[in-house]
Amino acid sequence: MLATLLFSSPVYCSNKEWCTALIVNNKVVAVFLELYMYTIDSIKLNGEVEHQCSIDSVIARTLAGELIVVRKGMQDLELFDQSVDLVINSIEAVCGSDVAAAVKRDGVEKIHVHVALDQVEAVYANARVELALKMPAVTAKTFESLGVKQDFYVHDASLIRLMMPYDVMKSKQKEFQKHLGKLTLHGPHHDHYQNVPINAINTWTAVGRVDSDNGMLIFPDVWGKNLPLENGEIRPDQHLGRPITLDMNPGDILIFHSNHMHASRINSTNETRVVLTNRICLDKPEYPDAARPQKYFLSSAFPADLDLSAIFSLKGFVGDKRKHLKTGLSKAVHKIATKVGLDFVKYPVETSTAISLEPIAITQLDEQLSEGQIAVVDDKTCATKVDGKVISFGRKCPHQGADLALGFIENGKVFCPHHGLTLCLKTGEASCSSIKSLRVEAIEV
Ligand code: FES
Ligand SMILES: [Fe+2]
């Protein structure tokens, strides 16, 4: 008689261990333990978190808009200490060894305590040069180890993002504006506003702690929508919905599709948030403006036997520069396409999410407002109901003037939709003390 022999699908048993059973004639005869490299969480568009996702599903989930967090991914790649050292070495090069030693001792979260504000830009520039030499190889290896087998495209622009507490960096805000999203806040945007390919996938790697109060805001409600712009920025009447905010530990790698609307959250903590970013395209990059392609490497530009842990100690670029591709459609092709009326530009569907903001008379507020709902009273004033009491408040965010009527109420505070400042509805106080308070008033109705 022939025995029926099969292997069960892998079952998760403990941290990074999975087991597969060998089954003969319906009886388990052996169990094999397998060690997996990564611990992966996925955050779905509805905010639900699925822990311990399989590596096989990472790319499909990312393309579907889920946010992937590879927990302690840099430690698993044996690159965590090296990535911290890259930042410390840049500090040493600009500020000297005493300052570098102090940051090493207290953690990169305390950069703002030890590095003078005037030196931050130089530290950023120094680290950026080092990253350009090393990070593309790291990114290529990361996605290969996440199961991407075919050749893909790796962006050559790896960035460091040093977001200091807002109250500390405020005086430099104007000066840092040219480093939008790296040294200062980037409001809600799609990366394709900067001509990032619409098929790009981002990596966002925590070098130090990332707190939900100093990280990124990602707006799942507008996933797949291309909101109308005004002067290159999202039109101010657009409703973005509640963002997802994330806490990440040092070494965690966040992977997300660049077509997510996202923003930097104003840093109301007393820690500097340090992350490294890079991106890939699985297929040929598709640019909103094909005449301005960016530079990518093919993933095969990096040696297959590259020792990851050696990358950071190597001087110079680790790979094959001949495979440094200026990808996308060439200017000439673009010109011809335009001439004959071909449209090579693909965008997510353009959709306005403006909502009707009909004012409600003050006398009607108690009756018409439900708990936590925001209503417009007039051009300058909104109202909400908290613990059964109607409270009116200024409509303009005291940070950069976003319309708080499009925000939301959480724990007795109004949350600004643009950079996530929160304002207390009892005192008007902002989550960053250097920002002036909001006008709030309890109203008798
Ligand atoms: S937090 Fe920036 S405009 Fe409100
Ligand atoms: Fe971005």
Report the CATH number at residue 289.
2.60.120.620
Instruction: Give Cα separations from 340 to 199, 300, 336, 347 (angstroms).
Output: 25, 36, 6, 20
- CA of 422 from ligand 1 middle (Å) equals 9
Q: Decide: 416 in ligand 1 pocket, CB within 6 A.
A: yes
Say which amino acid occupies 246: L
Residues 332 and 317 placed together within one structural domain of the fold: yes
Dist. CA 130–CA 333, nearest whole Å: 35
CATH of the domain at 376: 2.102.10.10
Which ligand gives the minimal distance to the CA of 263?
2
Residue 22 lies in a domain: yes
Q: Could you identify the atom of ligand 1 that is nearest to the CA of residue 416?
A: 4
Residue 352 lies in a domain: no
Q: Could you identify the atom of ligand 1 that is nearest to the CA of residue 404?
A: 4
C-alpha angle 185-188-192 in degrees, rounded to nearest 5: 105
Residue 114 lies in a domain: yes
| CA nearest to 343, candidates 289, 282, 284 | 289
Residue 292 lies in a domain: yes
Q: Decide: 396 in ligand 1 pocket, CB within 6 A.
A: no
Cα separation of the two ends of the chain: 85
Our mutation pick for probing the ligand 1 site, out of 233, 396, 418, counting the most ligand atoms within 8 A of Cβ, is 418
Q: Decide: 100 in ligand 1 pocket, CB within 6 A.
A: no
Residues 57 and 198 placed together within one structural domain of the fold: yes
> What pLDDT score was predicted for residue 324?
86
- CA of 401 from ligand 1 middle (Å) equals 6
Residues 434 and 315 placed together within one structural domain of the fold: no
Residue 344 lies in a domain: no
Which ligand gives the minimal distance to the CA of 218?
2
Residue 232 lies in a domain: yes
Question: Residue 376 belongs to what domain range?
Answer: 362-442
> What pLDDT score was predicted for residue 97?
98
Number of domains in the chain: 3
- CA of 196 from ligand 2 middle (Å) equals 9
Q: Could you identify the atom of ligand 1 that is nearest to the CA of residue 407?
A: 4
Q: b/e for 176-194, b at 16 or more Cβ within 10 A?
A: beebebbbbbbbbbbbbee
**Residues 6 or more apart from 337 whose CB is under 8 A from it?**
290, 329, 343, 344
Dist. CA 389–CA 372, nearest whole Å: 10
Full-model pTM: 0.89
C-alpha angle 141-164-421 in degrees, rounded to nearest 5: 105
Residues 203 and 250 placed together within one structural domain of the fold: yes
Residues 314 and 380 placed together within one structural domain of the fold: no
Q: Whose CA is nearest to atom 3 of ligand 1?
A: 400
- According to DSSP, the residues that pair with 138 across neighbouring strands are none
Residues 69 and 202 placed together within one structural domain of the fold: yes
Per-residue pLDDT of the chain (445 residues; tens, 9 = 90+): 567 777 776 665 555 566 677 777 778 777 776 656 789 999 999 999 999 998 989 999 999 999 999 999 999 998 999 999 999 999 999 999 999 999 999 999 999 999 999 999 999 999 999 999 999 999 999 999 998 989 999 999 899 999 999 999 999 999 999 999 999 999 999 998 888 999 999 999 999 999 999 999 999 999 988 898 888 889 999 999 999 999 999 999 999 999 899 999 999 999 999 999 999 999 888 888 877 888 999 999 998 888 878 888 888 888 888 888 876 545 555 565 566 655 544 556 778 888 878 888 888 888 888 999 999 999 999 999 999 999 999 999 999 999 999 999 999 999 999 999 999 999 999 999 999 999 999 987 6
Our mutation pick for probing the ligand 1 site, out of 421, 434, 436, counting the most ligand atoms within 8 A of Cβ, is 421
Q: Which of 301, 336, 371 is the last residue of a domain?
A: 336
| DSSP, residue by residue, 28-48 | EEEEEEEE-S-EEEEE-TTS-
> What pLDDT score was predicted for residue 344?
47
Residues 156 and 128 placed together within one structural domain of the fold: yes
Residues 133 and 150 placed together within one structural domain of the fold: yes
Residues 44 and 25 placed together within one structural domain of the fold: no
Residues 85 and 142 placed together within one structural domain of the fold: yes
Provide the CB-side half-sphere exposure for 42 (13 A, CA). Answer: 19
Q: Decide: 400 in ligand 1 pocket, CB within 6 A.
A: yes
- CA of 185 from ligand 2 middle (Å) equals 10
Residue 32 lies in a domain: yes
| DSSP, residue by residue, 61-78 | HHHTTPEEEEETHHHHTT
Residues 179 and 33 placed together within one structural domain of the fold: no
Torsion of CA 251, 154, 52, 24, to 10 degrees: -130
**Residues 6 or more apart from 115 whose CB is under 8 A from it?**
91, 94, 95, 99, 103, 123
Which ligand gives the minimal distance to the CA of 257?
2
- CA of 283 from ligand 2 middle (Å) equals 20
Residues 314 and 233 placed together within one structural domain of the fold: yes
Our mutation pick for probing the ligand 1 site, out of 180, 186, 419, 423, counting the most ligand atoms within 8 A of Cβ, is 419
Provide the CB-side half-sphere exposure for 389 (13 A, CA). Answer: 12
> What pLDDT score was predicted for residue 2?
63
Residue 397 lies in a domain: yes
CA–chain centroid gap for 69, Å, is 11
Q: Decide: 406 in ligand 1 pocket, CB within 6 A.
A: no
Q: Could you identify the atom of ligand 1 that is nearest to the CA of residue 185?
A: 2
> What pLDDT score was predicted for residue 1?
59
